[in-house]
């Protein structure tokens, strides 16, 4: 299945702490703080998929992407993707999710 998405070039770089048994706080290399599944890993990517209201975590596996789960990222949840796209800080990419 191919999907169109807004894909940021930043990657997850650091897990701060576990927020309960099911969620983990993280920081991206651009300084955004978010909350994702407890199994978020360094190298995971934040994406806004066309048609979804939430950000998702994607993990590259060969030439395909694994949907790791939904996440919340402060500063990216209110339509900022359009602003980043217009300003050249984000790109549209087509990729295959497994």
pLDDT score of 90 = 79
Query: Is the per-residue pLDDT at 4 higher than 50?
Result: no
Residue with tokens 């806004």: 48
What confidence category does residue 20 fall into, taking pLDDT thresholds of 50, 70 and 90? low
Query: Is the per-residue pLDDT at 71 higher than 80?
Result: yes
pLDDT score of 13 = 40
Torsion from C-alpha of 82, 86, 87, 90, nearest 10 degrees: 60
**Domain coordinates in residue numbering, the chain:** 2-96
Residue with tokens 């590259």: 60
- For residues 4 and 89, the model is more confident at 89
Cα(40)–Cα(68) distance, rounded to whole angstroms? 8
Determine the distance from the C-alpha atom of residue 25 to the mean position of all C-alpha atoms in its chain, rounded to a whole number: 13
Cα(18)–Cα(24) distance, rounded to whole angstroms? 4
Cα(24)–Cα(44) distance, rounded to whole angstroms? 13
């Amino acid at each position: 299945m191919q999907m169109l998405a807004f894909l940021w070039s930043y990657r997850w770089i650091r897990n701060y702490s576990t927020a309960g048994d099911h969620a983990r706080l993280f920081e991206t290399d651009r300084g955004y703080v978010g909350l994702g599944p407890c199994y978020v890993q360094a190298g995971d990517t934040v994406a806004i998929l066309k048609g979804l209201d939430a950000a998702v975590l994607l993990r590259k596996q060969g030439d395909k992407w694994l949907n790791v789960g939904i996440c919340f990222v402060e500063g990216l949840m209110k339509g900022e993707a359009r602003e980043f796209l217009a300003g050249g800080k984000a790109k549209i990419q087509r990729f295959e999710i497994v």
